Amino acid sequence: MTAPVLRFTPAEFAARLAKTRAAMEARGCELLIVTDPSNMNWLTGYDGWSFYVHQCVIVPPHGDPIWFGRGQDANGARLTAWIREANILGYPDDHVQNPDKHPMDYLSGILRDRGWGGLRIGVEMDNYYFTAAAFVSLTRNLPNARIMDATALVNWQRAVKSDTEIAYMRQAATIVERMHARIFDAVEVGMRKSDLVAEIYDAGIRGGNGPAGDYPAIVPLLPSGRDASAPHLTWDDRPLKAGEGTFFEIAGCYRRYHCPLSRTIFLGKPTRAFLDAEAATLEGMEAGLAAARPGNTCEDIALAFFGVLARHGIRKDNRTGYGIGVSYPPDWGERTMSLRIGDRTVLEPGMTFHFMTGLWLEDMGLEITEAILITDTGVECLASVPRKLLIKD
């Protein structure tokens, strides 16, 4: 095998591992089993659509990380991760989706063989890719271990982005700008929604003279009219109608780094309800962005935004943003900080968020959002897309 193609320097990977080990030590965790694909990628570079079977990266007490996965995916680890051959461990294929043979049974044997069966072992208890069955298998097969919850331990180390990560997110921002420009160019009354989705993918993936796009962790969400009261409906082939608003919740993605950004387009003359929601949102965003600076907290951004909405008679009872960065389906959020009341995480330069100011009301939805970077002195919007209700007649 040739050397893997790495997207970060060895020094950056080493720093990530050191940060992770420090966090493990602070929590009394001696060995970490990392199942979140975005954490696996961040620690090792591993990149592949293999997370539909059990796999993980192990951070042992000493030495380099270990990749553990399906045998046929070991070549993927060799091609994408900075893991030496001896640390790439594949399990036999009869352990794939077989109720009688669980991959975590197999992993337990490896951990015991290496003398790690009695350690304090951290697992990501509330991650999509760490199932209840995986937990039961480890608990049963490692009776001397102390299994402890390390949900989001690695995710938190990712919160402050490096220069290279920010450069990748700026590329993703370029992509999402291109996607929104294409939407506005292409959208028209009578167009099938599926055809518009094809335009969005085309703009998101083709490079043209700019960066080619990777697949975002969520597909385009673009409900119209009353359907937009439901934030997570996907598309169908019904034609777009005059007199309706459609929001476009999309992200550009570059080397697995995301820049989400939503806009809403009204076909025809917007209703008073849309104009009122737009006014409240834009004023609230200004207030939220003004509160987005180092030393303030996540909650401060939410309070500023919600305060303006309340003055406009709108109550928003869901969170108004979350950390973003490297990710895999089903979520482009980082699953750490949320911009909501009660989250007193202190903002630091290099943190990145989707300031998710969407309003899903009784019979309409409006999304005008920004992807933001906390700077040394305040905040910067990563992408530049006209921040308003877009209108096309």
- Report the site for a second copy in 86-115 (rule: CB under 8 A): 92-94, 96-99, 102
* Position among 329, 349, 350, 378 found at the interface with a second copy (CB under 8 A): 329
The span from the CA of 189 to the CA of 185, in Å, is 12
d(CA 54, CA 131): 9
| Interface stretch with a second copy, choices 13-21, 107-115, 176-184, 196-204 (CB under 8 A) | 196-204
- Spatial CA neighbour of 142 closest among 285, 310, 254, 30: 30
Task: Annotate each residue in 252-291 with x if it binds a second copy (CB under 8 A) or - if it does not, as one string.
Answer: ----------------------------------------
Does 129 participate in binding a second copy (rule CB under 8 A)?
yes
Are 157 and 20 in contact by the 8 Å Cβ rule? The answer is yes
* 243 lies in the site for a second copy, by CB under 8 A: no
Q: Are 292 and 321 in contact (CB under 8 A)?
A: no
Which residue carries 């597909």 as its tokens? 219
Residue 176, both tokens: 């999402």
Shortest distance in whole angstroms from residue 149 CB to a second copy: 7
Q: Out of 84, 206, 312, 388, point to the residue binding a second copy (CB under 8 A).
A: 206
Q: At what angle do helices 103-113 and 132-141 cross, to 10 degrees?
A: 30
- Does the protein bind a second copy through residue 50 (CB under 8 A)? yes
Select 241 or 269, whichever has its Cβ closest to a second copy: 241
The answer to whether 55 and 61 are in contact (CB under 8 A) is no
Does 229 participate in binding a second copy (rule CB under 8 A)?
yes
Q: Which of 190, 330 has the CB closer to a second copy?
A: 330
Comparison of 184 and 201: residue with beta carbon closer to a second copy:
201
Residue 310 touching a second copy (CB under 8 A): no
Is 299 a binder of a second copy (CB under 8 A)? no
H or E, element range at 167: helix 163-186
Query: Could you say whether residue 73 binds a second copy (CB under 8 A)?
Result: yes
DSSP per-residue codes, 320-358: -EEEESB--TT--EEEEEESSTT--PBP-TTBEEEE---
Q: How far is the CB of 84 from a second copy (least distance, A)?
A: 17
75 binds a second copy (CB under 8 A): yes
Closer Cβ to a second copy, 15 or 89, answer by number: 89
The distance in angstroms from the start CA to the end CA of the chain is: 57
Give the Cα separation of 112 and 378 in Å (integer).
49
**CA angle, 332 as apex, 329 and 335 as ends, to 5°?**
105
49 binds a second copy (CB under 8 A): yes
Q: How far is the CB of 146 from a second copy (least distance, A)?
A: 15
